[in-house]
Amino acid sequence: GQNIDQPTEMTATEGAIVQINCTYQTSGFNGLFWYQQHAGEAPTFLSYNVLDGLEEKGRFSSFLSRSKGYSYLLLKELQMKDSASYLCAFLNRDDKIIFGKGTRLHILP
């Protein structure tokens, strides 16, 4: 079967670093997405990982381990505007995108 799992909620402090983990299971895998979604708004693209390793993009970095079925999103120097849901999703070999239920991140001042 196919499934994807990420924590439901996390809390972090402004200025700190937070890591949001995502694990997935699928028989065919093409790549892994991270999207950010503020409450009441549409998701916006953060990253897409195909190869193992860490990709850095400003304050956000995304890591992938294909052999472990594992990814994480690392957010540095947290700002209040980073309070949002973070959606992990994988693309399978049939070009279907499977989203996790999202991690709601709360940032405390």
Partner 1 sequence: DSGVTQTPKHLITATGQRVTLRCSPRSGDLSVYWYQQSLDQGLQFLIQYYNGEERAKGNILERFSAQQFPDLHSELNLSSLELGDSALYFCASSLGTGENEQFFGPGTRLTVL
Binding mask 77-96 for partner 1 (x = CB under 8 A): ----------x-x-x--xxx
- What is the total count of residues that contact partner 1 (CB under 8 A)? 21
The span from the CA of 91 to the CA of 63, in Å, is: 16
Residue 102, classed as helix, strand or coil, is coil
Residues 23-52 close enough to bind partner 1 by CB under 8 A: 30-31, 41-45, 48, 50
* Minimum distance of partner 1 from residue 109's CB (angstroms): 27
- Provide the token pair at 74: 């690392």
- Provide the token pair at 45: 């693209």
Looking at the Cβ atoms of 78 and 84, the one nearer to partner 1 is: 84
Residue 14 interacting with partner 1 (CB under 8 A): no
- Provide the token pair at 58: 């400003």
The span from the CA of 35 to the CA of 62, in Å, is: 11
- Identify the sign of the CA torsion 59, 45, 11, 69: negative
Residue 9 interacting with partner 1 (CB under 8 A): no
Residue 10 interacting with partner 1 (CB under 8 A): no
What residues make contact with partner 1 under the rule CB under 8 A? 30-31, 41-45, 48, 50, 87, 89, 91, 94-102
